[in-house]
Amino acid sequence: MPTVYTASFYDPQDWVGRVYRVSRAHPRGRKTQWETLPLLYPPRNLLQAYRAGDIGFPDLERDYVAGLETAIGQAGELEEWLSTVPSMDRFTLLCFERAGQACHRRVLARWLQERVASLELGELR
Instruction: List pLDDT tens digits, range 17-66.
Output: 999 999 999 888 888 889 999 999 999 999 999 999 999 999 999 999 99
Burial 37-66 (b: 16+ CB within 10 A, else e): beebbbeeebbebbeeeebeeeebbebbbe
Report strand pairing: 18-21 vs 90-95.
Answer: parallel
* Mean pLDDT, rounded, for 77-84: 92
Angle between helical axes of 77-84 and 57-73 (0-180°, round to 10): 90
Helices within the chain (DSSP H only)? 44-51, 57-73, 77-84, 104-115
Residue range(s) defining the domain that contains residue 79: 3-124
Q: Which pLDDT does position 75 carry in this prediction?
A: 65
* Mean pLDDT, rounded, for 5-22: 96
* Mean pLDDT, rounded, for 12-19: 96
What does each C-alpha distance from 3 to 8, 44, 58 come to in angstroms? 17, 28, 25
Q: What is the domain count for the chain?
A: 1
Distance of alpha carbon 79 from the chain centroid: 15
Contacts of residue 67, Cβ cutoff 8 Å, sequence gap at least 6: 42, 43, 46
